[in-house]
Amino acid sequence: MSDQRLLDTIKHKISIGVSEQEIIKTLVFLGWKESDVKKAMPIALGNKEAETNVGVPTPLVIVPEDKQKITFEGFDSNNNLPKEKKKKILPAIIIFSVLVIFAIVIFIQTATKASPDKFSEFFSWFNVSQPTQPQTNPIPNVVIPTAEGVKIFGPFSSAGKLSMMDDNFAFFYEKDGFQYVNINGSISNAYQRFEKKGIARPIVPSIYENKYGYSYYDEAKGGWFINIDGTFSGPFNDASNVYYSKAGYIYAAKNIGDIYFYVYMNNKKYGPYVTIDNNIYLSDNGFYAFSYVSNSKKYINLNGNVYGPYVDTGNGIIYKNDNFYFLYNENGKQYLNISGRVYEVTEATIYDYQKFIFSFTYNKDGLKYVNINGTEALSGEQTELAQNHVFKKDDGYHVEIGGKIKGIYPKTTPIYVDGNAFIFGYQAASGQWYVNINGVDKGPYQSVGSEFFIKGEHYGFIYQKEGTWSVEIK
């Protein structure tokens, strides 16, 4: 049998990029035989046919060459210490042990203060296991700048899916090959990076006030799990993202060994369905919607009313001001359904910014229209600037926000406005990106994320700098 601790140590060092020669050199120094380390190396790399007779570090034992019995001075013929001497030595041993322990404590405190990073790196050799259960409020990786109330989380290899509501926030990030979820500064357990056909599926947290929900994959437990406010369900064979609103939560999941999906909304269960898309929605007043597949056709369930069949359904189902909006394709054409009124469109996009506003553009009767929160108007430069605050022309993107900002930029993100407050990202002529918050630029950045939020004095955005990603929250 192989020494599991040796194998785990090798796997850990391989996972953080230590070379094979450096691993062999270090482990031999720590007491393992070089031959055992070399035998364990291909096993740790995944070669199951390799020799597995790997031993533990061999202690140094000195054996007399002759067969004569050696008796040490002060001991009896069996090398046992007399009782009266044991009584004298025992207190000395206890005192010596206490002094050693005290010295070790002083050393650890001094070394930690002097060089905490190096000290942690030394002990990381013996920490080869990965967490499999959610941690309870671990310390977030956060830097507090001088600006009052501003927090910067990072750097990460990637970050995204930022969701905010007032002073509550959530986002996912990747670091050292694992995915994490940050809910109001509390970090989840490390989750495996789930990939399908080479494409990674990120964790998409959804929040409403201080409540939250998200789905994640746990390879060790063999399935998908749902986390709703710290209560876990699973494992499932597959699961959609979770959508959280004032009315509660909604998600879809397929049980292990089952071929059908079910939709779970608070304490209700709907189904079965062959396939569920990520078009899952629950409005603040309890209006729910999701799209699914039956007999190779797509349908949309809106509060129990089924629409379809369709060849395909577009991304985004919105319910605002007692009206619902969704896109679908049929007979090679694209259509927009607004509360039962159907329009043939050639260009239509639905956005749901921050769950506070939505907008889309579409063509009708040969004219271009824009719909902002249910109000329809002919599209044009003035309408676009008044509604979306940005209008694309041949010389670039023109931005105008309440007379405060007037600029022409090569590229911009959507403009997010809340009363007199606003936030957006733009690319300068130099190619660098900046984020403008209420007329003040932050940057420069290598790139910016697609999610921006602002509500009163609270805001959030994601940016890339020097190859890594960070999240700024206020």
Residues 181, 207: Cα–Cα separation, whole Å: 12
Indicate whether 130 belongs to any domain. Answer: no
Provide the pLDDT for residue 256.
93
Q: What angle do CA 352, 473, 384 make, to 5 degrees?
A: 35
Q: How many domains does the chain have?
A: 2
Last-in-domain residue among 341, 360, 388: 388
pTM of the predicted structure, to 2 decimals: 0.61
In the prediction, which pLDDT does 172 show?
Answer: 92
Q: Domain check: are 376 and 422 in the same one?
A: no
Reduce the DSSP state of residue 87 to 3 states and report it.
helix
- Residue 121: pLDDT above 70? no
Band (pLDDT 50/70/90 cuts) for residue 195 is: confident
The answer as to whether 459 is a domain residue is yes
Task: Report the share of the chain in percent with pLDDT over 90.
Answer: 21
Same domain, 335 and 194: yes
Given pLDDT bands bounded at 50, 70 and 90, which one contains residue 242?
Answer: very high
pLDDT of residue 125 exceeding 60:
no
Question: Do residues 414 and 398 make contact, with C-beta atoms less than 8 angstroms apart?
Answer: no
pLDDT at site 459: 94
49-105 pLDDT, tens digit per residue, is 444 333 333 333 333 344 444 344 444 445 454 555 555 555 666 666 767 676 665
Q: Are residues 346 and 424 in the same domain?
A: no
Task: Note whether 81 and 74 are within 8 A (CB).
Answer: yes
Quote the pLDDT of residue 14: 67
Q: What is the pLDDT of residues 161-190, one digit of tens each?
A: 998 887 899 999 998 888 999 999 889 888
- Residue 297 structure tokens: 């056709």
User: How far is it, in rounded angstroms, from Cα 461 to Cα 160?
Assistant: 9
Distance CA 356, CA 414 (A): 14
- Residue 139: the pLDDT is 37
Q: Same structural domain for residues 315 and 370?
A: yes
**103 within domain boundaries:** no
Confidence of residue 349 (pLDDT cuts 50, 70, 90): low
On whether residue 17 sits in a domain, the answer given is no
pLDDT attached to residue 115: 44
Q: Are residues 189 and 292 in the same domain?
A: yes
Phi, psi of 427 (to 5 degrees): -100, 130
CA distance 309 to 291: 11
Provide the pLDDT confidence category of residue 129 given band limits of 50, 70 and 90: very low
23, part of any domain: no
Q: Which residues contact 61 (CB under 8 A, 6 or more apart)?
A: none
Q: Does a structural domain hold residue 135?
A: no
Provide the percentage of residues in the chain whose pLDDT is more than 70: 64
Mean pLDDT calculated for residue range 205-219: 90
- Among 388, 413, 430, where does a domain finish? 388
Torsion angles phi and psi, residue 268, rounded to 5? -110, 150
Identify the pLDDT of residue 355: 42
Torsion region of 329: left, alpha or beta (phi above 0 gives left; psi -120 to 50 gives alpha): beta
* No. of helices (H) and no. of strands (E), the chain: 6, 40
Domain ends where: 358, 388, 418?
388
154's tokens? 């990072």
| 414 and 313 co-located in one domain | no
Name the one residue in this structure whose structure tokens are 């189902």: 317
Least confident of 103-112, 246-255, 295-304, 385-394: 103-112
pLDDT of residue 123: 34
Residues 172 and 228 in one domain: yes
Give the pLDDT confidence score for residue 136 in this predicted structure.
37
Residue 357 inside a domain? The answer is yes
Measure the CA–CA gap between 271 and 263, rounded to whole angstroms.
6
Q: Assess whether 361 and 403 both reside in one domain.
A: no
The domain containing residue 308 runs over which residues? 142-388
Q: Which of 237, 214, 85 is nearest to 162 (CA)?
A: 214
CB-count burial class (<10 Å; 0-12, 13-18, 19+) for 469: buried
Q: Which residues contact 348 (CB under 8 A, 6 or more apart)?
A: 314, 327, 334, 336, 360, 361, 362, 363
In this structure, the answer to whether residues 364 and 270 fall within a common structural domain is yes
Could you report the per-residue pLDDT of 42-51, keeping only the tens digit for each?
777 665 444 4
58-67, 108-117, 132-141, 454-463, range with greatest mean pLDDT: 454-463
- The burial of 323, by beta-carbon neighbours within 10 Å (0-12 exposed, 13-18 middle, 19 or more buried), is given as middle
Residues 379 and 406 in one domain: no
pLDDT-derived band at 250 (thresholds 50, 70, 90) equals very high
pLDDT reported for residue 193: 76
Q: Quick one: pLDDT band at residue 140, thresholds 50, 70, 90?
A: very low
3-state DSSP call for residue 123? helix
| Shared-domain flag, residues 260 and 345 | yes
Return left, alpha or beta for 104; rule: phi > 0 is left, psi -120 to 50 is alpha, else beta. Answer: alpha
Q: Is pLDDT of 202 > 70? A: yes
Whether residues 460 and 421 share a domain: the answer is yes
Calpha distance 177→214 (Å, rounded): 19
CATH value at residue 415? 2.40.10
Residue type, 315: N
